[in-house]
Amino acid sequence: MLVLRGGDVVDAAGIREADVAVEDGRIVAVGDVPDADEEIDANGRFVAPGLVDSHVHLMLDGRPDPASTVGETETMLAYRATANLAAALESGVTTVRDLGAPATLALDAARAVEEGVVDGPRVLACGENVVMTGGHGHWFGREADGRAEVKKAVREQLKRGADVIKCMATGGVLTEGAITGAPELDEEELTALVETAGAKRVPTAAHAHGTAGIKNAVRAGVSSVEHGTFMDREAAELMAERGTYWVPTAKALHGIVDAGTDAGIPEYAVEKAEETAEAFAEAFEHAVDAGVSVAMGTDAGTPFNFHGDIPEELELMVEYGLSPDDALEAATVNAADLLGLSDVGLVEDGYRADLVVLDSDPREDVTAWQSPTRVVSSGSIAR
């Protein structure tokens, strides 16, 4: 039995002084635990749930131009994914959802972590994105047009064991020629995607920047809207009404805008990102005002958006208008709920033992997440 001794437990349920006992990968007691085989001294520190990132790309490593991975073999991309998994875990991220990689790369990464072949956070994955022919991310997605092709593309991912089905409802920043926010898969195609995934009780995620594409995706019944950059008040209210999660990925935008073309990011990508910056701030206001449920996601792997820096997303969410408490919920219980994980995100008896030890209370200092002193993943000490 491993016991985290003497700390203050802090999660979405509040804060309380308690020891945390871990055995066989699960939390078995939260309270006064007298005996232990091994201890972590958390005296004067805070024990919190490990972070859940709802949107990463394990094959991408933060390079200035993600399209440069096109010429690399899947084997090389797998090595990059292995390094990214290690970096994410070291930073206190204990669960990630990969939303797009070639073939079975991310699905295989999930199995490799589960079987102990490599160290990393728990992985849920979509397999390949479903995109229109020539659409955003077509270079690592599954191109499909019309209801029949979309249904087949979804079924292919389900056959591979996808935990979620991801699609491109609009154009994006990092595909040359794509118009950011312009609708790509239409509402009929999106509905076919949701219905096909839903038949297997598998959730869906839609990359959607523009208002029309966001509304198409929400009306089609997607589980989460990724990015949502141009979300207007009407779209936010529709999302709140339908219970659609928003995964903002603020770090993806900042990685591009803050670095710029001098860092080697393609000029077209920087121009498109700069055009979206003001709209993104307004989208956050609309989402907060409408009460849209937010789940943390970073789009880690995009330019200068490194997997080891995932915890910085909480600070950005607070800067855009969430409270530190709301950011904590977005990065733990909300993200776990979106991913369909009922035993992740709280420090409670019976939950998976995914824990971080922080030097300060993250409800008062949101930057505390960025430097965990210890990380426990599925009951094993990772740091």
Assess whether 96 and 192 both reside in one domain: yes
Please say whether the beta carbons of 207 and 136 come within 8 A.
Answer: yes
CA-CA-CA-CA torsion for 246, 247, 251, 255, nearest 10 degrees? -90
170 and 233 belong to one structural domain: yes
Query: DSSP character for 267?
Result: H
CB of 376 closer than 8 Å to CB of 2: yes
Q: d(Cα 126, Cα 265) in Å, to the nearest integer?
A: 27
CATH of the domain at 374: 2.30.40.10
Same domain, 6 and 140: no
For residue 3, give both structure tokens: 């016991």
The C-alpha angle with vertex 236 and arms to 230 and 238, in degrees rounded to 5, equals 125
Q: Give the pairing of strands 51-56 and 93-98.
A: parallel
| CATH number, domain with residue 56 | 3.20.20.140
Do 44 and 175 sit in the same domain of this protein? no
Question: Could you tell me if 8 and 130 lie in one domain?
Answer: no
Q: Do 29 and 113 fall within a single domain?
A: no
Same domain, 329 and 353: no
The reply to whether 43 and 83 lie within a common domain is: no
- 195 alpha-carbon distance from chain centroid: 23
Question: For tokens 């709301």, what's the residue?
Answer: 326
Are residues 45 and 59 both part of a single domain?
Answer: no
Domain residues for the domain of 208 are 51-338
334 and 258, same structural domain?
yes
173 shares a domain with 36: no
Does 261 share its domain with 190?
yes
pLDDT in tens, the chain (383 residues): 999 999 999 999 999 999 999 999 999 999 998 888 999 999 999 999 999 999 999 999 999 999 899 889 999 999 999 999 999 999 999 999 999 999 999 999 999 999 999 999 999 999 999 999 999 999 899 999 999 999 999 999 999 999 999 999 999 888 888 888 899 999 999 999 999 999 999 999 999 999 999 999 999 999 999 999 999 999 999 999 999 999 999 999 999 999 999 999 999 999 989 988 889 999 999 999 999 999 999 999 999 999 999 999 999 999 999 999 999 999 999 999 999 999 999 999 999 999 999 999 999 999 999 999 999 999 999 98
Q: How many domains does the chain have?
A: 2
Q: What's 57-106 look like in SS3?
A: CCCCCCCCCHHHHHHCCHHHHHHHHHHHHHHHHHCCEEEEEECCCCCCHH
The DSSP annotation for 306-353 comes to -GGGTTHHHHHHHHTT--HHHHHHIIIIIHHHHTT-TTSSS--TTSB-
- The structure's pTM equals 0.96
